């Protein structure tokens, strides 16, 4: 329980990778602030943590809205006193829609949540961390933030998240703020779970390009986030950590 005085904010913490990562942080002794656009889902994750003996608050926010992000940070500080770690996990899928076929409203939704939302979260998290003397940010990027993908809206926003990660890492490294990202491949939770279900009758089609021969788990991502958040990664800045079973080695 060496981390019992450290507070972690997890956006998109109502389910999938976010929920599993929040539970993993709690099991290691961190205090949690769970945020989700779905208030009920955020509350459920916080309740699971409390039932396990942990400390957690829950918060509702649409991260694409500046005033809601600012309110979120105020609530977290009022509840916990500081913000040691932020896992910016919230995001939406744009589907496998080629660039010329994307509807403008669909592109805007992906852009505003994945890119603008991550930027807003980082902006106000960094301001808080500068005030308190430091902190750690881990963004949920994607292998689509490193590789190409047919789905142009999702791919372009995740490349943007990779850029935000590197830019902030350079800007704030000497201010005691570390910024990194995890880049999951196909994971059996969240957005990945929906794709896996879609191809349930032909699983080999999904795993053929993954060198280890199987999809990953939310726990795999959670452990990567925990490592990047820990003092063991104190010399790691601006890194995009692949969690993809070797897919990106191709």
Domains and their CATH numbers in the chain: 7-244 (3.40.50.720)
For residues 239 and 241, what is the distance between their CA atoms, to the nearest angstrom?
6
Rg (CA), the chain: 17
Beta-carbon neighbour count of residue 40 at 10 Å? 10
Residue tagged active-site, from 30, 124, 154, 172: 154
For residues 130 and 107, what is the distance between their CA atoms, to the nearest angstrom?
33
The verdict on whether 154 is a catalytic residue reads yes
What are the pLDDT tens digits along the chain (250 aa)? Answer: 556 689 999 999 999 999 999 999 999 999 999 999 999 999 999 999 999 999 999 999 999 999 999 999 999 999 999 999 999 999 999 988 999 999 999 999 999 999 999 999 999 999 999 999 999 999 999 999 999 999 999 999 999 999 999 999 999 999 999 999 999 999 999 888 887 887 777 778 788 889 999 999 999 999 999 999 999 999 999 999 999 999 999 7
Phi/psi-derived region of residue 136, left when phi > 0, alpha when psi is between -120 and 50, beta in every other case: beta
Q: Which of 57, 79, 74, 69 minimizes the C-alpha distance to 13?
A: 57
Q: 112: helix, coil or strand?
A: helix
């Amino acid at each position: 329980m060496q981390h019992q005085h450290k507070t972690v904010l997890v956006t998109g913490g109502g389910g999938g990778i976010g929920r599993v990562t929040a539970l993993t942080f709690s099991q290691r002794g961190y205090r949690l602030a769970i945020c989700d656009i779905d208030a009920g889902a955020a509350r459920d994750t916080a309740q699971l943590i409390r039932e396990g003996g942990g400390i957690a608050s829950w918060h509702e926010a649409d991260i694409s809205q500046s005033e809601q992000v600012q309110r979120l940070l105020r609530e977290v500080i009022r509840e916990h006193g500081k913000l040691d770690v932020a896992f910016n996990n919230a995001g939406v899928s744009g589907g496998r829609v080629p660039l010329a076929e994307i509807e403008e409203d669909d592109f805007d939704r992906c852009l505003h949540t994945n890119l603008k939302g991550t930027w807003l979260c980082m902006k106000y998290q960094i301001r808080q961390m500068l005030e308190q003397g430091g902190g750690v940010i881990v963004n949920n990027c994607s292998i689509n933030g490193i590789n190409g993908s047919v789905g142009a809206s999702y791919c372009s926003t995740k490349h943007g998240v990779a850029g935000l990660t590197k830019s902030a890492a350079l800007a704030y490294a000497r201010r005691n703020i570390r910024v990194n990202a995890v880049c999951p491949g196909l994971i059996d939770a969240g957005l990945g779970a929906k794709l896996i279900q879609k191809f349930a009758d032909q699983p080999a089609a999904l795993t053929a390009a993954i060198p280890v021969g199987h999809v990953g788990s939310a726990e795999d991502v959670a452990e990567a986030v925990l490592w990047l958040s820990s003092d063991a990664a104190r010399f790691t800045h601006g890194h995009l950590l692949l969690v993809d079973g070797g897919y990106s080695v191709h």
